[in-house]
Amino acid sequence: MAEFIMELNDEQKEVRDWIHGFAADVMRPAAAEWDEREETPWPVIQEAAKIGIYSLDFYAQQYFDPTGLGIPMAMEELFWGDAGIALSIVGTGLAAVGVLANGTEEQIGTWIPQMYGDVNDVKVAAFCSSEPDAGSDVASMRTRAVYDEAKDEWVLNGTKTWATNGGIANVHVVVAVVDPELGSKGHASFIVPPNTPGLSQGQKFQKHGIRASHTAEVVLEDVRIPGSCLLGGKEKLDERLARARERAKAGGGERVKNAAMATFEASRPAVGAMAVGTARAAYEEALEYAKTREQFGRPIIDNQGVAFQLADMRTSIDAARLLVWRASWMAVNGKPFTAAEGSQSKLFASETAKKVTGQAIQILGGNGFTREYPVERMHRDAAIYTIFEGTSEIQRLVIARTLAGMPIR
């Protein structure tokens, strides 16, 4: 187990500086344009692919960093560049992780390369879990997958929503119900290959923030996929469902749910790191503005009303980063989240991003309210962090129930 440290090593610093350079030189100059266009920034994704940032190898190297700091460091720098473009770059990773976590070696080798494409023909992938009536309440999921034994095919029907890259993806990973009686333990994940009949894009959402990231509904109407597209395979699924049924009979259902919740806990620090990146970007803009903007013959940072805000902003950002790093280290090293440390990091960082970006607008005054300055966009982008990957209210519920030793439903 790696020792918990609060400073990046030399190799990590080199990677951080490399990503920061891409964020500063490529992402930032393009941010306002793609926010206005509300379209997937394909040219920027291609540039990321050319230098190796948009690739499975890059994320795998960061994910397997024994210190746990690789992923949060990368997320912070990319989202410092621009949240919408960054989400377009990392969104495919959600689907790739779903395959890595549940797929066979053959499935991993077959489908993940198709998710990314190549430098000359970049592709994206989509992870489809949320539904119109099943966001935080995953047990309410309605999308069904029925096995056609005669043809060795699965038939999928339902509607997914809030899917990053939904409908434009080369490969879709879809979570569906295979046994409704088991609630969230009766779910399975499926690969929907490119150009499969019956899958279509529904509504594309026009969003408040992260507008360079494509978000849409995915409609599944009698989508037939080969049996080999069930992640993990039929035998593994049947064994898992049998164990879940036995546990349910023995009254162990809540324990199973808590084990599943631990998986979500481990992924939430990455979202916290995204929020830290956006907050830091807004703070830096506000700090520079406060040092150069003069009113009444002196820089506005000389006024306590501004200086104290900046002090609080920096303190909150540093505190958020430390919570994210602690939870990330715990996740990589198998430390139990006895106080819901994953949710703690996501909650505090998300709320910090919303507050800090708002304070940045206040410090810039009228300029901050215009699109000539990036803090307006950063403030809009920051709103998503308290919503996706579990709302702030859900994080507080998870933390409170964990502290009380209560089941997390």
* pLDDT of the chain, 409 residues: tens digit per residue: 678 888 899 999 999 999 999 999 999 999 999 999 999 999 999 999 999 999 988 988 998 899 999 999 999 999 999 999 999 999 999 899 889 888 999 999 999 999 999 999 999 999 998 898 866 666 678 999 999 999 999 999 999 999 999 999 999 999 999 999 888 789 999 999 999 999 999 999 999 999 999 999 999 999 999 999 999 999 999 998 998 888 877 765 444 443 334 445 667 999 999 999 999 999 999 999 999 999 999 999 999 999 999 999 999 999 999 999 999 999 888 898 999 999 999 999 999 999 999 999 999 999 999 999 999 999 999 999 999 888 999 999 999 999 999 876 6
Instruction: Please give the backbone phi and psi of residue 298, each rounded to the nearest 5 degrees, phi first.
Output: -155, 155
Is 125-249 assigned to CATH 3.90.1150.10?
no
Q: How far is CA 386 from the centre of its chain?
A: 12
Q: What pLDDT shows up at residue 295?
A: 92
Which has the closest alpha carbon to 290: 371, 362, 376, 374? 362
Q: Please report, for the chain, the start and end positions of each structural domain, with discontinuous segments joined by +.
A: 10-122, 125-249, 255-404
Which of 11, 294, 389, 393 is an active site residue?
A: 389
Pair type for strands 171-177 and 125-128: parallel
Which has the closest alpha carbon to 96: 32, 171, 166? 171
Torsion, Cα of 163, 167, 168, 169 (10° steps): 70
At 323, the amino acid letter reads: L
Residue with token string 């950002």? 317
Dig out the tokens for 217 from the structure.
Answer: 């509904």
> 405-409 — which CB contacts under 8 Å span 24+ positions?
407/254, 407/257, 407/258, 408/257, 408/258, 408/261, 409/139, 409/257
Instruction: Report pTM.
Output: 0.92
Q: Which CATH class is domain 255-404?
A: mainly alpha
Which has the closest alpha carbon to 267: 409, 129, 72? 72
Cβ atoms of 378 and 313 within 8 Å: the answer is: no
389 flagged as catalytic? yes
What are the CA-CA distances from residue 222 to residues 58, 168, 197, 233, 326 (Å)? 36, 19, 8, 20, 45
- Give the 3-state secondary structure of residue 125: strand
How many CA atoms lie less than 13 Å away from 75 in the CB half-sphere?
27
From the CA atom positions of the chain, what is the Rg in Å? 22
Do 125-249 and 255-404 come out as alike in CATH topology?
no
Query: Residue 297: CB partners within 8 Å, gap ≥ 6?
Result: none
Which one-letter DSSP state was computed for residue 169?
-
Dig out the tokens for 125 from the structure.
Answer: 């992938």
As a whole number of angstroms, the distance between CA 307 and CA 317 comes to 16
Classify domain 10-122 by CATH number: 1.10.540.10
Dig out the tokens for 309 from the structure.
Answer: 């805000």
As a whole number of angstroms, the distance between CA 19 and CA 240 comes to 40
Cβ atoms of 375 and 285 within 8 Å: the answer is: yes
